Structure formats: structure tokens, C-alpha cells
Amino acid sequence: MTGAGTNKTQVGIAGGPAIILVRPQLAVNIGMCARAMANFGLDDLRLVTPREGWPRTDARRKGAYAAAAGAVHLLERARVFDSVEEAIADLNFVWATTARERGQGKRVEPPAVAMSETAAAIKAGQKHGIIFGPERTGLANDDVALADGIITFPVNPAYASLNLAQAVLLTGYEHFRAAQGDALPFATPDKSPPADRQMVISFFDFLEDHLEKNGFFRPLGKKPLMQINLRNMLHRMQMTQQDVRTLWGVVVRLVEGPRTKVQTRKRLGPKQTPKGTKPSSAD
């Protein structure tokens, strides 16, 4: 099952550091890690002695593939190693992730700094990897000793343990930002241009005229202040032309009451009322 944001017509991004899961305990977590990798264009998944074996052919396999949510190609290409040493043998630099201080004298960086360096190094032709420990215990000290540096996350110190897939997601996100930039996949659409001052002021005059007729500005001594407050409130909306038309139509309907079929036909002309639709009150 793929997610709502999956679009196979787009060109996928690939590359990045190798993601090395050391002695992962649950097949479903491997699947979720694959999904996190696919989100941020990582395609090198390596497994070190997974507890349940790999690849699976039973219900655990189905759980892993379901958790991958469309990133099954990463599961199918995952490589399995008997030791961390074998899994990192072809890499030039390795980060170890841990929530605990290990007393090993290694440099410690947050994921944003570490992945910025990794993205630059990969661009220069180096091969980097990140090792993640088992879900329950994390990496052993011997595993951390094989790494060049440590990545740790700025989290609540009273609850610093991250889910395995969450840790992969956070590092993948920071690598994607460093390698691809912060450009969003889409922006807020401009469906209507901003209203100009003449249009807004005309609406104010129309609105205030009807408010005056219906006794809104009382007592009269407070009318100037009430007008200013009302105008400032509407100005803060930064209204578009469509916003003004819609609000104008709302006031018209409140003043004139429900539009009759005769009024609608007169406004549109004969045989111009679209079938199955109602005229917009914003007109």
C-alpha cells in the first residue's frame, strides 16, 4: 500500500549515505526504515544480522512490506552482513547514532551538522554511512568504536530514546535538506490578485452605509473609532479581489434577503442560469 503523497510519475532522488541497521529486532521496523529512506532519497540499506533473519518469507515479510508503504524496492535490494566491519568496509566515513554519552572521545554532532558534512563529502566522491543500533539497547560500545563520529539528537533529556525509524527519518531529512535545499514541493496558490485600495475603500463605504442605516454605530460619538477598528480588522485580512467580492455579496444578501428566481433570471438574462447550479452571492 502506498501513501497519498506517492507519485511514480516524478523522477526519484537516490544516493546519500548508506543506512546500516545493526541487529534490528523487528521486521516491521526495517520496513518503516525503508519508508523513511524513500521519503528523503536514500537508497542503500544494509542489515547486520537481523534477529528474525532476512529476507523473510512468512508473515513477518508481509509486515515489513506493508510498513514500507511502497518502498519495497529498498527492502528487495537490502544487503545483509554478518558483522558491522563487513557492512562498513567500503565506506570512507561512518557516523554512529546514540542517545548516550559513550566516553570514547569522538566528536559529537547534531544531525544537521553531520549531514551537511556528509552531503558535501558524497558530492566530492566519498562514501559515507550511518549505523543505527538495535531497538531495545542501541549500539554496543564496540560498534560505536568503529565509527568516525557520533550523531545524537537534541531531544527531551528525560525521554531521549527514539524509535529506529524515527532516527533514520531525522537523519534522512537533514541530509535531504543539505543535499537538495529547502525548496518546498508546492506553494500557496494565488487564486485571486490582491484587492487594490479603491476596491477595498468602495467596500468599506458600502458596508458602513448599511451599518449606519441599521443603527450599528451607536452611540454616535464612538462612530469614528468604530469605523477605524472595523477597517483595521478587515485590512489585517490582506484581502484579495475575490475576498472583497465574496464579503460584498454576503452583505447584499443580508440586506436584501434571499434571492428569488425572478431576481436571478433578471440578473443573468434569459436562459443564462447554469443547469444544476445557484448564482454566487459574491456577484
Give pLDDT tens digits for 183-227.
887 777 777 899 999 999 999 999 999 999 999 999 989 999 999
pLDDT attached to residue 137: 87
CATH number for the domain formed by residue range(s) 18-180: 3.40.1280.10
Specify the range with the lowest mean pLDDT, choosing from 8-12, 70-74, 146-150.
Answer: 8-12
Q: Are 65 and 127 in contact (CB under 8 A)?
A: no
pLDDT attached to residue 7: 58
> What's the average model confidence in pLDDT over 258-273?
58
Q: Indicate if the pLDDT at residue 40 is higher than 60.
A: yes
Cell readout for 51 is 534477529
Tell me the sheet residues that pair with 108: 150
Residue spans of the domains in the chain: they are 18-180, 197-268
Tens digit of each residue's pLDDT (9 = 90 or more) over 50-107? 987 776 666 667 778 888 887 889 998 999 999 999 999 999 999 999 988 878 889 9
> What's the average model confidence in pLDDT over 115-141?
94
| Nearest in space to 178 (alpha carbons), one of 122, 237, 95, 248 | 122
| Nearest in space to 173 (alpha carbons), one of 111, 264, 249 | 111
pLDDT attached to residue 274: 39
pLDDT attached to residue 266: 58
> Quick count: other Cβ atoms within 10 Å of Cβ 119?
21
Which amino acid is located at 181 in the chain?
A: G
Specify the range with the lowest mean pLDDT, choosing from 8-12, 149-153, 220-224.
Answer: 8-12
Q: What percent of the chain has pLDDT over 90?
A: 60
Read off the pLDDT band of 11 (50, 70, 90): low
- Considering the chain, what is the average pLDDT of its residues? 86
Q: Can you say whether residue 85 is alpha, beta or left, with left for phi > 0 and alpha for psi between -120 and 50 degrees?
A: alpha
Q: Indicate if the pLDDT at residue 230 is higher than 90.
A: yes
Look up residue 194 and give its DSSP letter: B
pTM comes to: 0.69
